[in-house]
Amino acid sequence: MEIVHYPHPSLRWKSQPVREINVKLKSIVHEMFDLMYEHKGIGLAANQVALPLRVFVMNPSGERQESDQELVFINPEILRKKGTIEGEEGCLSLPDVYGQVRRAEDILVSAFDLTGKEFRLELDDLLSRIVQHESDHLDGVMFFDRMDEEERSKIEAKIADFDFEFRKGQNEGEIPSDVELKRQLAELQP
């Protein structure tokens, strides 16, 4: 398992709901946490590891030893949004690219945990931002899609560099074609 970089097709894929919480899913979640910590992240969606599942993990501390802050969201749904606030975001699928994104300030989210138990959380500040960012991933939305035109223009060259490197890898046979990657994603859907 590895984190894929933009413009890998999985990052634009609308993930399908998880139908069963089993040993395989639990293993995936543990690997996702490992990757998130390894890359110094605070959230990671299944799309970012080329899995079309509605699952993401987060730990706002970003520290493995603070595992009490780990949260797993299976089939999350944001039920309510209130207020707006702007803040800086980045993405493990676009390393070292950051920009200001306007998000809801407070949210109510519903999801299932790894035991299959449904939970609801009212979140604000960083936790709200992480859940919105990762939920967007599950719908194929990147953080820069939410940026205003002026902010996005500041990072367009960096996004273009990622696109160039990805296409170069495809042309050199190091990365499968988009058609092949989409076929793989379709096969992995629940």
List residues with catalytic annotation.
134
Q: Kindly compute the dihedral angle of the four CA atoms of residues 88, 91, 92, 94, in this order, to the nearest 10 degrees.
A: -110
Please state, in angstroms and rounded to a whole number, the distance separating the CA atoms of residues 162 and 93: 9
User: Which of 158, 190, 176 lies closest to 51 in space, CA to CA?
Assistant: 190
User: Which of 174, 186, 185, 178 lies closest to 49 in space, CA to CA?
Assistant: 185
